[in-house]
Amino acid sequence: MKIGLFIPCYIDAFYPKTGIATLELLEKLGQNAEYPMDQTCCGQPMANSGCSPDAKMTEELFVRNFAKYDVIVAPSGSCVHHVRDHFDAMEQTADVRHVRQNTYELVEFLHDVLKVRDFPWAEFPHRVGLHNSCATLRSLRTASMSELGEPFFSKPKTLLSAVKGISFATPKRPDECCGFGGTYSVTEEAVSAKMGLDKVTDHHEAGAEYIVSADTSCMMHQQGCAERNGVPIRFIHIAEILNGAKA
C-alpha cells in the first residue's frame, strides 16, 4: 500500500512538527508514505466561502498530486471532510472518485485501516482534554455525537488510551464547536474568538494541561484565544503524542 501524505497548508507553514510526527509515525508502523512536493491546499477555504468555481483548479491539482497513491492520509479532519464530501466542482472522473474514496484522516486510518492499538514508544504523562473537530465528529464520525444519544465511542480516545501515563479531563461541553470554521474565523471574528475562549476555558477548568486534537486548524485558533487571554493551557496534535512526543 503506497500512502500519499497530505500536509495541509497551515500545518506546512505554521506547525511542521505535526507533519513530521505524522510521517515518522507512519514510518514507525512500517508504512511506505510519500509527500508529493507539488501539493498546496484542498480547496476548502474557497468552497466554504461559496466560491466553489475558484476552488476547482486547486482541487484538480490535489487530484493530480494524489491519484497515483493507494490511499491518501492527512493529519486534518477538516481537509479530509472537504476532499471526501465536497469535491463537487470538477468532473467526477475515475481519478477524482478514487481520491475521494481513499482519503483518510490520520486517526481513522490508524484505527480503521491499519487497526493499530499499541504505541509502545508513546508516553505522555499529562492530563489532556480531547477536542474533536466538528468535521471529525459530525462528518467523518470518528466519535459519538451527543445530539443523537448514541452509545459512546471515540476512535481518538481509543488510540490515546494506549499511551503510557496519559489521563483525560472532561469538559462540560465536549461537542461544542470551538468557533474556528475556516474563513468564519475572520468574517465573524468576534463570535469566533469568543467561542474559542469559551472552549479553552472549559478545558482548563476541567483540569486539562493540554488540548489534543486531530485538527490543527481548530488548535491554531484556540491557541490564539488562550494566549491572548492568558489561559494557561498547551496544545498538541494527536500525531505527536502517538509518535512519542514527551511534551
Strand 210-213 with 167-169, pairing? unpaired
Cβ of residue 49: shortest distance to other proteins, in angstroms? 5
Q: Which is nearer to other proteins, 7 or 242 (CB)?
A: 7
Q: Does 48 interact with other proteins (rule: CB under 8 A)?
A: yes
Q: Which of 127, 174, 206, 224 is close enough to bind other proteins by CB under 8 A?
A: 224
- 195 is a contact residue toward other proteins (CB under 8 A): yes
Q: Does 144 bind other proteins (CB under 8 A)?
A: no
Question: For the CA atoms of 117, 108, 24, 87, what is the dihedral angle to 10 degrees?
Answer: 170
4, 77, 156, 179: residue in contact with other proteins (rule CB under 8 A): 179
**Nearest distance in Å: CB 21, other proteins:** 10
Q: What phi-psi label fits residue 115: left (phi over 0), alpha (psi between -120 and 50 degrees) or beta? A: left
Does residue 186 touch other proteins according to CB under 8 A? yes
Judged by CB, which is closer to other proteins: 120, or 205? 205
* Grid cell 473537530 in the structure block, residue: 133
Which residues from 2-31 bind other proteins, rule CB under 8 A?
7, 9-16, 19-20, 23
For other proteins, which residue of 177, 206, 233, 245 counts as binding (CB under 8 A)? 177
Round to whole Å and give the CA distance between 33 and 35: 7
Closer residue to other proteins in complex, CB, 118/230: 230
Asked if 56 is part of the footprint of other proteins (rule: CB under 8 A), the reply reads: yes
Out of 103, 136, 213, 223, name the contact with other proteins by CB under 8 A: 223
Which residues in 228-247 contact other proteins (CB under 8 A)? Answer: 228
| 197 closest CA partner among 178, 170, 181 | 178
Helix/strand/coil for 28: helix
Name which position in 191, 205, 246, 247 contacts other proteins (CB under 8 A): 191
Stretch near other proteins under the rule CB under 8 A, chosen from 119-127, 151-159, 168-176, 202-210: 168-176
Q: Which three cell numbers stand for residue 164?
A: 503510557
Beta strands 32-34 and 234-237 are unpaired
The interface region with other proteins, picked from 40-48, 105-113, 157-165, 205-213 by CB under 8 A, is: 40-48
Under 8 Å CB-to-CB from 162, ≥6 apart: which residues?
A: 117, 118, 119, 122
C-alpha cell at 176: 461544542
Cα angle, residue 21 at apex, residues 16 and 22 outer, rounded to 5°: 100
